[in-house]
């Protein structure tokens, strides 16, 4: 059976009360370590750039972005709880972020992804991102990042 994200929950804008849940979700699902302060700084820089996906009362996914330049947005963090993956939640969060970027007159989006994160790279490629170059030793464990980019 195909499950549609709208049947699981909904997207809403992040509020500071979500900080603990988001930090814990980040540190369960992403390989870099994030503190609440880091996430709060992202929120303060551009409050509407963080959106959460709520199923029942639980936050099961979120996206956080930034303005990289006056015309370029950037996806900083995107994560979905393991048991909620491949249901379209990641796509819904990304589409929502694209809309926010368009409303802010941004023209393109960039992101960095670990070069060995095949699942995320395939996901981003499917949504029109292409690799522009490799950034050697980008992450704290010295692994490489791929810089991926697409027009909006």
Ligand X SMILES: CC(C)(COP(=O)(O)OP(=O)(O)OC[C@H]1O[C@@H](n2cnc3c(N)ncnc32)[C@H](O)[C@@H]1OP(=O)(O)O)[C@@H](O)C(=O)NCCC(=O)NCCS
- Binding track, positions 94-113, relative to ligand X; x by CB under 6 A: -------------------x
Among 85, 96, 110, 150, contact with ligand X (rule: CB under 6 A): 85
Verify binding: residue 88, ligand X, rule CB under 6 A: yes
Helix (H, G, I), strand (E, B) or coil at 122: helix
In the bound state, the residue with its beta carbon closest to ligand X is 90
Min dist. Cβ of residue 50 to ligand X (A) = 15
Verify binding: residue 2, ligand X, rule CB under 6 A: yes
First to last CA, the chain: 31
Integer Cα distance of 97 and 132 in angstroms: 21
Residues of this chain, 3-42, that bind ligand X according to CB under 6 A: 3, 29-30
Backbone phi, psi, residue 94, to 5°: -70, -45
Radius of gyration of the chain (CA): 15
């Amino acid at each position: 059976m195909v499950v549609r994200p709208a049947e699981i929950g909904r997207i809403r804008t992040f509020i500071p009360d979500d900080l603990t849940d988001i930090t814990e979700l980040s540190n369960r699902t992403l390989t870099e370590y994030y503190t609440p302060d880091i996430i709060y700084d992202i929120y303060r820089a551009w409050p509407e750039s963080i959106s959460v996906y709520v199923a029942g009362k639980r936050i099961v996914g979120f996206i956080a972005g930034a303005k990289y330049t006056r015309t370029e947005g950037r996806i900083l963090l995107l994560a979905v709880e393991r048991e909620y993956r491949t249901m379209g939640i990641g796509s819904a969060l990304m589409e929502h972020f694209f809309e926010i970027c368009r409303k802010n007159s941004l023209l393109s989006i960039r992101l960095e992804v670990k070069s060995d994160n095949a699942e995320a790279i395939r996901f981003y490629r499917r949504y029109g991102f292409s690799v522009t170059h490799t950034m050697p030793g980008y992450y704290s464990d010295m692994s490489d990042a791929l810089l991926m980019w697409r027009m909006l």
